[in-house]
Chain A
Amino acid sequence: MAQAPVLPRGFELPLEPRLPRIGSVDAVALEERAASLAKRSIKREAKVFALELAIRMIDLTTLEGQDTPGKVAALASKAIRPDPTHADIPSVAAVCVYPNLVPTAVARVRETGVKVASVATAFPSGQSPLDAKLEEVRWVVEQGADEVDMVIDRGAFLSGRYAKVYDEIVRVKDASSSAHLKVILEVAELGTYDNVRRASLLAMAAGADFIKTSTGKLPGAATLPVTLCMLEAIRDVYEETGRMVGMKPAGGIRQAKQAVQYLVQLHETLGVEWLTPDLYRIGASSLLNDVLMQLRKERTGVYQSGDYFTLD
């Protein structure tokens, strides 16, 4: 069983003034900074750039009890070619589905460049035995999922059993072998930005390729301040270790305008190096059509009715 390193005779103390320190987050100032970045005015070619980038970063998601192979197949087709009337509109990054629907999604997106992401580890609550979670992870990877979106054990985290959370992420990382691991913190359940920062650092230390805000199953999912808080943790890890960890806000991003705000925040916090779907994803479903509508408006100068965009 993987574990945090055990130190002989004693406990670990930070002996250098190094980053990342767990430290703390000032909520008022964090929210102020996020609000000020959200006021950037992104126009014309800069806006088109952001909208196209946003499409390439979308994890097009359906996570419902009522999901069927037919629904997932339709979603996958939309992911590959979001706007059939404009072939130059890029594909989204991935489709994100429940484990049972991975085979359908994989069959549909084969050799298109679109990835399949699967939630796992008893999503969304994570309240299952570790072995069951690991088995689920192995299964989705065997079925061809390229990416695994796991949830952390919030019960363990909130009761201070950080080693358990850490340990579980290490085990899941191991079980997901070559698949990309996104670790969902479910920020709405963590309660404070201090906790969000702590959980972000914990997940990155345990090997997360991405950290992700939310399951999308709770109100109060991704927000600009909470995403900024996570980006700052990513920045500290990068500054100290050179390791580039990805970020995925998910839940509540429905409008193109919001997507642009998230990208501005990313750009001005982590820099242009992070403006790639390798390092940033937006978990969303209805966002895509709004971005398509805005792009068409930028091209033609007029808004078109919703009937001109497919509902999948």
Chain B
Amino acid sequence: MTDLERPRGGVPAPKDWTYAPAPEARDVVTLADRYGHFVGGEWIEAEETYTTISPATEEPLAEIGQATPAEVERAVAAARDAYDDGWSTISPSERAKYLFRIARILQERSREFAVLESLNGGKPIKESRDVDLPLAAAHFFYYAGWADKLEYAFPNQRPRPIGVAGQIIPWNFPLLMLAWKIAPALAAGNTVVLKPAETTPLTALLFCDVLRQAELPAGVVNIVTGDGATGAAIVKAEGVDKVAFTGSTEVGKAIQRELAGTGKKLTLELGGKAANIIFDDAALDQAVEGIVNGIYFNQGHVCCAGSRLLVQESIYEPVVDKLKRRLATLRVGDPLDKNTDVGAINSKQQLEKIQELVAVGEEEGAEIYQPPCRVPEKGYWFVPTVFTNVAQSYRIAQEEIFGPVLSILTFRTPDEAVEKANNTPYGLSAGVWTEKGSRILWMAERLRAGVVWANTYNRFDPSSPFGGYKESGFGREGGRHGLEPYLQLDDSEAFGG
């Protein structure tokens, strides 16, 4: 180096700066040893139970009910009673009142919920605190506002509730997905039987306490816990008028087969293999942040994760270099530490699936990069991973991994970017990074994805509809669109306009 290159002065830099642990206190959460099902405003003892754990430590947290078909029937009957007994006919502003209450209580108790979410699900506390909780509360606020304005949302269509909604939600955003399901259903005048995911039932169970605090009439929301068998029982239950499912494409297809011909309404929000497309004129450092947020947010357990990075070939090298450098600064570890960026994988089963697909990627010939990183010995962990040299035909470019694993491909022209982005059975989301406004619009018109983010990624708002094309599902959640699956609408002609 010339004298220009070396700083003068000779004060050596330290070898490292280790951040001291900054754990969020766990004692805001009080757990019971054993939970039953919340049916008709009361807890009922569960016949069978299983243990729910913390994926970061494998420590058992509580015994959870495994709802039998009979228990599910009981919950559906309670929901039906509550529906017939007034919820469907009380004044809409009364319904709004309860939703506003729930939203406010969630805000007040947000720390407690955030800690529990991270404890049971493994996601970093900064995400449950700054994303999951504020958005869950915002969702209730938003739909509270619609409850007495449905006729304005669907003019001349006489919106009426459907009845009992059976809702099955995933483990990646347990409380937020609960909010996405329950808020519009209640605003529209339906009652609910909801099943949280097998591995993450605790925030849904704590939410029952919020319902009591809000004095929501008994039976309007019923929560049953259990695995896929419980979910299947909800889908099959006679008294369910509408099924809403968020989860894997495989299960979604099975539900659709089951419901064919039954007259039950159905919405599905399933998997994705989203393309995050970086053009050569993009603001590179910010695009790299977007890539990181797109795939490593919530350990990549995000159905709309930007798991395929499409980089314009002319900037491939700087983007990959910057990305690798950035990866080395990600802090993987204790989900309850306020400085953790990437937490624990949600379950052993999911970890094995990620490991399997990553091994396939290496066999297929992709080049793997993982930053140097020490993860705890106990618990389920996977180091943030990047695959370069990925071909469109590789399984890691086609299948949803649902983990912190990014596959990088290149493209040369906007046409090729669109072609590659759309060349997947999925169609949930996409990201476009360019400084050119006209190109953003051009791309958005051509990308077959329910959401297209421009110069950002994984940004959600209750007023913005979310949902998929193709095997990513159908129906929209969020916004005015999110009310529609929970309403019967008459077209104006049938009623004389």
Binding site for B on A (CB under 8 A): 17-19, 21, 23-26, 28-30, 32-33, 39-47, 49-50, 53, 56, 180, 207, 209, 232, 239, 241-244, 246, 267-268, 272-279
Structural contact, A275 and B17, CB atoms closer than 8 A? yes
Structural contact, B13 and A274, CB atoms closer than 8 A? yes
Q: A24-B435, A26-B286, A276-B11 are known contacts. Are A267 and B17 too (CB-CB below 8 A)?
A: yes
Q: A49-B17, A272-B15, A272-B17 are known contacts. Are A277 and B126 too (CB-CB below 8 A)?
A: no
5 closest cross-chain pairs (CB), A and B: A29-B286, A41-B22, A278-B9, A26-B286, A26-B283
Structural contact, A41 and B339, CB atoms closer than 8 A? yes
Among candidates B7, B17, B435, residue contacting A279 with C-beta atoms closer than 8 Å:
B7
Structural contact, A180 and B8, CB atoms closer than 8 A? yes
Contacts of B280 in A (CB 8 A): 17
For residue A34, give the distance in angstroms from its CB to the closest CB of chain B: 10
Complex Cα distance, B9 from A274, in Å, reads: 13
Complex Cα distance, B286 from A28, in Å, reads: 9
Structural contact, A33 and B22, CB atoms closer than 8 A? no
For residue A236, give the distance in angstroms from its CB to the closest CB of chain B: 8
Q: Which residue of B lies closest to A274 (CB)?
A: B13
Among candidates B329, B339, B455, residue contacting A29 with C-beta atoms closer than 8 Å:
B455
Among candidates A40, A46, A241, A246, residue contacting B7 with C-beta atoms closer than 8 Å:
A246
Interface size on B, residues (CB 8 A): 44
Complex Cα distance, B329 from A241, in Å, reads: 22
For residue A28, give the distance in angstroms from its CB to the closest CB of chain B: 7
The total number of A-B Cβ pairs within 8 Å is 109
Interface digits, B378-392 against A, CB 8 Å rule (1 contact, 0 not)? 000000000000000
Structural contact, A39 and B126, CB atoms closer than 8 A? yes
Q: Judge whether B254 is part of the interface by a CB distance below 8 angstroms.
A: no
Q: Judge whether B315 is part of the interface by a CB distance below 8 angstroms.
A: yes
Known: A28-B456, A44-B20, A47-B20; 8 extra A-B contacts, CB below 8 A, are A33-B289, A40-B19, A241-B5, A243-B1, A246-B7, A272-B15, A274-B13, A278-B11
For residue B290, give the distance in angstroms from its CB to the closest CB of chain A: 6
Residue of B20, B290, B338 with highest tally of chain A CB at under 10 A:
B20
Q: Judge whether B497 is part of the interface by a CB distance below 8 angstroms.
A: no
Complex Cα distance, B316 from A50, in Å, reads: 36
Complex Cα distance, B12 from A207, in Å, reads: 22
For residue A205, give the distance in angstroms from its CB to the closest CB of chain B: 11
Q: Judge whether B284 is part of the interface by a CB distance below 8 angstroms.
A: yes
For residue A119, give the distance in angstroms from its CB to the closest CB of chain B: 20
Complex Cα distance, B433 from A25, in Å, reads: 12
Structural contact, B12 and A276, CB atoms closer than 8 A? yes
Q: Which residue of A lies closest to B10 (CB)?
A: A278
